Amino acid sequence: MTNDLLSSYTLPNGVTLKNRIIMAPMTNFSSNDDGTVSEAEVNYYSRRSHGVSMVITACTYVTPDGKGFPGEFGADNDAMIPSLKKLADGIKKQGAKAILQIFHGGRMCPADLVPNEDVVSASNIPASGEGNPVPRPLTENEIEEIIHAFGETTRRAIEAGFDGVEIHGANGYLIQQFFSPHSNRREDRFGGSLEKRMTFPLAVVEKVTETVKKHATVPFIVGYRFSPEEAETPGITMDETLQLVNTLADKELDYLHVSLNDYNSKPRRGVGDLDKSRLEYLLEMINNRIPLIGVGSIYSAEDAEKAFATGVPLLALGRELIMDPDWVEKLEAGKEEEIITELNTNRQQELVIPDPLWNIITNTPGWFPGID
């Protein structure tokens, strides 16, 4: 099984990945104040790019009003291309494919991070929880501008030397907000029925793939990340996600990437058998039309082998690669027992973790094994 994890894999566009292990996208809060990539960030990615086949960066915003986190790097204008190039080069020099995750935070953006505190979304429904801003519904013209911005950011990724982009349609951000009946109460062409709620996500996919055809001179990877369900009612159900995935599987994408806390998690509602895992449902629906990346609470080699045994062709490791950047090399060397699966709080320098990320990790009990 270990050999299978280390075997190469060819994506639909012909790009071959050297193994099945990918670094999952994780926010690191460590960019410069002007939105450029910091040296600490480049070093952090570079340290984790020599074993995995592909690194998906933290998300970058496509418009100034899409900035979702303090210390998030930008890709919203051409002046950012040299900064993006530093990041792409830092990853590629270590032998991994560099994928830029592109996003707009929508109603999840903190008001103080966006121009004029103008937080926008599909509708004027705030995110669940206390104190979240009431967003302003986007006009149709503004929606078209954001779709265009996803294309422009893809062009910048190509010019900066990235190997691909991942469209961030997961984790409650703007693309998911349009798909969700909780956040999207529109009655125009962008809202209402399930098909209409897919309009914006599919328009972004189309714009990104068109941009690649126009500007890329070598095969360029395009992926799409999604979250399977929402807790809210109304909210996205497993059944609705399966219909979205069915549609996406026939688009010109190179992979789909499911966002899960645990690869083995079961559906909440919307399907007949709640004992079958979400991954099983997704793999059945996709039916080998497009590769699916599975993720979620994969720490040890044994965890990875169990997740891989579900039939998912690619695995993304997130927290695990922060705790042990040499995970893949240990697997290759047959030293699985040396893989570190708890965070050692004395090893920040050795692990090359920037201060802002380190401070959040060590002050968030339960997020990482070893932090109580």
Residue 21 has pLDDT above 90, yes or no: yes
Mean pLDDT, residues 24-43: 98
Letter string b/e over residues 2-15, b meaning 16 or more CB atoms within 10 A of that residue's CB: eeebbeebebebeb
According to the model, what pLDDT value does residue 87 have? 98
According to the model, what pLDDT value does residue 80 have? 98
According to the model, what pLDDT value does residue 14 have? 98
pLDDT tens-digit readout, 79-102: 999 999 999 999 999 999 999 999
Mean pLDDT, residues 149-156: 99
According to the model, what pLDDT value does residue 1 have? 56
pLDDT band at 143 (very low <50, low <70, confident <90, very high): very high
pLDDT band at 3 (very low <50, low <70, confident <90, very high): confident
Residue 27 has pLDDT above 90, yes or no: yes
Residue 2 has pLDDT above 80, yes or no: no
Residue 327 has pLDDT above 70, yes or no: yes
Share of the chain above pLDDT 70, in %: 99
Q: Which long-range contacts (CB under 8 A, 24 or more apart) does 75-83 make?
A: 75/100, 75/102, 75/153, 75/156, 75/157, 76/35, 76/149, 76/153, 78/156, 80/35, 80/36, 80/156, 81/156, 81/159, 81/160, 82/160, 83/35, 83/36, 83/37
The pTM score is 0.98
pLDDT tens-digit readout, 178-198: 999 999 999 999 999 999 999
What is the residue-averaged pLDDT of the chain?
Answer: 97
Q: Token pair for residue 28?
A: 């690191």
Contact between residue 197 and residue 141 where contact means Cβ atoms under 8 Å apart: no
pLDDT tens-digit readout, 234-279: 999 999 999 999 999 999 999 999 999 999 999 999 999 999 999 9
CB atoms within 10 A of CB 269: 11
- State in words which class domain 2-344 has: alpha beta
| First and final C-alpha spacing in the chain | 33
Give the Cα separation of 227 and 218 in Å (integer): 30
Residues marked active site are found at: 173
Residue 372 has pLDDT above 90, yes or no: no
Task: Assess whether the previous peptide bond of 234 is cis (omega < 30° from 0).
Answer: yes
Q: How many H helices and E strands in the chain?
A: 14, 12
